[in-house]
């Protein structure tokens, strides 16, 4: 397998723009309405052309798909829904041929209840070594009829389910009941995962995004815990600035696991990377996940969760750069992914929207669609000027807003079911993306089929309707990625400069970047305009970013 880039083992991840492909919604080669590996492979040239460095694929492994593949039944097999192992190999080879790296999504906190380990654990019974691989406990109450503690599932309801046919015995699942949590104190779990890493690394995969990288170790004794009002289920602050410390998130023991993985990568797979999905605050603590002997990168969710406010954005940028550089890691930046409301909608919402809750047409405080897109473009132009590495989520380069009109009977997110429809969940950001304005399923696949219905209004966002139009969001992304690379903005050093009220302005790598967060246009500073996310004719319009040379 060829390795892309001139310097095969340089630290490419320090500057990379990594594009998240959500396989079921990217491109469908068969017409069954679900995206697949051949569909992705056929579209890879268009990603290479966009100017990204790597793709991260959400899970493609064998799975009953109760949580869209984050419920893995076999870490070494491809789900037939997406294709075969040969298709995966061909995809990686084609990506490398195009100079793109490929990151797979590893889900080590839990398996599917269909994984052979969980089946074996159920079959082997109480007290067996097989049950040691998961977190089984006796219930509370006289007959064990109450769950072992009060933990709640991230998707709603109790985090414990009774073992079928064994009243009084329970297993832990921080997510859906079909996703039992693994016991990472078990040596068999640890060694099997090392083998899983090797399995994919040996096939040429360039690294892993590590799911729930803050959750694999639980506090001793599994103590009761009640989150404070106002904190999102993935942790965070309670609105007063107090940091939540649940006994299932961010326990010290997780670091030992990543050190072991990193040592293996450094010794045998140089140039491959680990990127942690760790919802941990504050950023100075999150930086522990990317100490020199741990992961290479971690998602900066504090940045993603920052409101559209000049002072708040400046603060989170400063904190991020300080915290990550203190451990020698690159800052990363992200605005959207498959778990959050798309930023073309989210940044303009007026109400609170904790991560994962989702929104729909009935949600109060929905923005005007065009204003939302203008703000998203400004936010992206600001993000892509920052030093370090950035993540973009499929469809944001088209300016896609959240899908707000999904029929209830099309919804698939476990959050919707476990909260009995009280929370919409994440389906609104997972709708198959539009490629061609005048094709069936907007070119997602060869037929009209689409596992979540595409809004009719998405015709205007189709990739082919935007290509070549310099005013389009697609061309703005393309230009931003090209200029970022040419001017080496990824290597820049931010120096804040005076800005009109309501604006942020900085210099980095010889480039001036100004974002107007305010309500009125402001004068555009002197310089050659390299990129503008919106109108600069009558001054720098509200919700607009400009790059000047």
Active site residues: 211, 268
| CB 70, min distance to ligand NOJ, A | 3
CA dihedral 72, 276, 99, 320 (to 10 degrees): 150
Residue 113 binds to ligand NOJ (criterion: CB under 6 A): no
Contact (CB, 8 A) for 402 and 35: no
Q: From 130, 175, 167, 119, select the one nearest 151 (Cα to Cα).
A: 175
Contact (CB, 8 A) for 542 and 348: no
Residue 212 binds to ligand NOJ (criterion: CB under 6 A): yes
Residue 248 binds to ligand NOJ (criterion: CB under 6 A): no
Residue closer to ligand NOJ by CB (options 170, 393) is: 393
Residue closer to ligand NOJ by CB (options 280, 536) is: 280
Round to whole Å and give the CA distance between 51 and 122.
48
Among positions 19, 56, 61, 70, the unique one binding ligand NOJ when judged by CB under 6 A: 70
Round to whole Å and give the CA distance between 450 and 28.
9
Residue nearest to ligand NOJ (CB): 70
Strand order in the sheet with 169-172: 136-138, 169-172, 160-162
| CB 109, min distance to ligand NOJ, A | 7
Site track for ligand NOJ across 187-206, x = CB under 6 A: --------------------
Report which secondary-structure segment, H or E, holds 480: helix 473-486
Among positions 36, 339, 397, 402, the unique one binding ligand NOJ when judged by CB under 6 A: 339
Residue closer to ligand NOJ by CB (options 429, 540) is: 429
Q: Which residues pair with 57 in a beta bridge?
A: 21
Distances (CA, A) of 474 to 106, 467, 477, 478, 490: 30, 7, 5, 6, 20
| CB 174, min distance to ligand NOJ, A | 8
| CB 344, min distance to ligand NOJ, A | 20
Q: From 215, 295, 286, select the one nearest 263 (Cα to Cα).
A: 295
Q: From 489, 533, 532, select the one nearest 511 (Cα to Cα).
A: 489
Q: Dihedrals φ, ψ of 390, to 5°?
A: -130, 150
Contact (CB, 8 A) for 247 and 214: no
Size of the residue set binding ligand NOJ (CB under 6 A): 9
Residue closer to ligand NOJ by CB (options 70, 171) is: 70
Residue 175 binds to ligand NOJ (criterion: CB under 6 A): yes
Residue closer to ligand NOJ by CB (options 301, 458) is: 301
Place of tokens 């640890």: 190
Among positions 53, 67, 396, 397, the unique one binding ligand NOJ when judged by CB under 6 A: 67
Residue closer to ligand NOJ by CB (options 44, 334) is: 334
Residue 107 binds to ligand NOJ (criterion: CB under 6 A): yes
Site track for ligand NOJ across 273-302, x = CB under 6 A: ----x-------------------------
Residue closer to ligand NOJ by CB (options 63, 320) is: 63
Place of tokens 């082919």: 464
Record the tokens describing residue 226, joined without a space.
């009640």
| CB 491, min distance to ligand NOJ, A | 29
| CB 68, min distance to ligand NOJ, A | 7
DSSP 3-state of 196: helix
Q: Dihedrals φ, ψ of 169, to 5°?
A: -115, 140
| CB 263, min distance to ligand NOJ, A | 25
Q: Which residues bind ligand NOJ (CB under 6 A)?
A: 67, 70, 107, 175, 211-212, 277, 338-339
């Amino acid at each position: 397998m060829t390795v892309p880039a001139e310097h095969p083992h340089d630290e490419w991840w320090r500057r990379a723009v990594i594009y998240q492909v959500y396989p079921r919604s990217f491109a469908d080669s068969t017409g069954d309405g679900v995206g697949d590996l051949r569909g992705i492979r056929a579209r890879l040239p268009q990603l290479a052309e966009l100017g990204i460095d790597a793709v991260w694929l959400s899970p493609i492994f064998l799975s009953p798909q109760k949580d869209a593949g984050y419920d893995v039944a076999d870490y070494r097999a491809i789900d037939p829904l997406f294709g075969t192992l040969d298709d995966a190999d061909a995809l990686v080879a084609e990506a490398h041929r195009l100079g793109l790296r490929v990151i797979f999504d590893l889900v080590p906190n839990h398996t599917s209840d269909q994984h052979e380990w969980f089946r074996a654990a159920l079959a082997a019974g109480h007290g067996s070594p097989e049950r040691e691989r998961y977190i089984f406990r006796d219930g509370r109450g006289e007959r064990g009829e109450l769950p072992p503690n009060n933990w709640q599932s991230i998707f709603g309801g109790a985090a414990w389910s009774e073992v079928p046919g064994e009243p009084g015995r329970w297993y832990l699942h921080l997510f859906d009941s079909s996703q039992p949590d693994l016991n990472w104190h078990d040596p068999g779990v640890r060694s099997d995962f090392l083998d899983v890493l090797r399995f994919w690394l040996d096939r040429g995969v360039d690294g892993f995004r590590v799911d729930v990288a803050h959750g694999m170790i639980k506090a001793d004794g599994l103590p009761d815990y009640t989150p404070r009002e106002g904190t999102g289920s993935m942790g965070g602050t309670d609105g007063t600035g107090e940091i939540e410390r649940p006994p299932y998130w961010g326990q010290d023991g997780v670091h030992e696991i990543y050190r072991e993985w990193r040592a293996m990568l450094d010794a045998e797979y140089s140039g491959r990377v680990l990127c942690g999905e760790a919802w941990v605050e504050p950023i100075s603590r999150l930086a522990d996940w990317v100490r020199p002997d741990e992961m290479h990168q971690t998602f900066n969710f504090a940045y993603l969760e920052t409101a559209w406010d000049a002072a708040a954005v400046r603060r989170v940028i400063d904190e991020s750069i300080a915290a990550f550089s203190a451990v020698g890691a690159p800052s990363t930046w992200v605005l959207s992914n498959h778990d959050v409301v798309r930023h073309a909608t989210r940044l303009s919402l007026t109400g609170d929207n904790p991560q994962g809750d989702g929104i729909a047409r009935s949600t109060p405080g929905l923005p005007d669609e065009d204003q939302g897109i203008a703000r998203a473009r400004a936010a992206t132009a600001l993000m892509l000027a920052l030093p370090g590495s950035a993540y973009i989520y499929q469809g944001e380069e088209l300016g896609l807003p959240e899908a707000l009109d999904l029929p209830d009977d099309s919804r698939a997110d476990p959050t919707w079911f476990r909260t009995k429809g009280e929370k919409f969940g994440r389906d609104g950001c997972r709708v198959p993306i539009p490629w061609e304005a005048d094709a069936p399923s907007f070119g997602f696949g060869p037929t009209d089929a689409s596992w979540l219905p595409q809004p009719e209004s998405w015709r205007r966002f189709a990739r082919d309707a935007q290509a070549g139009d310099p005013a389009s969001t697609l061309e703005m992304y393309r230009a931003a990625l090209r200029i970022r690379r040419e001017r080496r903005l990824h290597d820049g050093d931010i120096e804040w400069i005076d800005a009109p009220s309501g604006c942020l302005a900085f210099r980095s790598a010889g480039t001036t970047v100004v974002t107007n967060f305010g309500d009125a246009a402001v004068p555009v500073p002197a310089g050659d305009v390299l990129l503008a996310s919106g109108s600069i004719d009558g001054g720098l319009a509200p919700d607009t970013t400009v790059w000047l040379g």
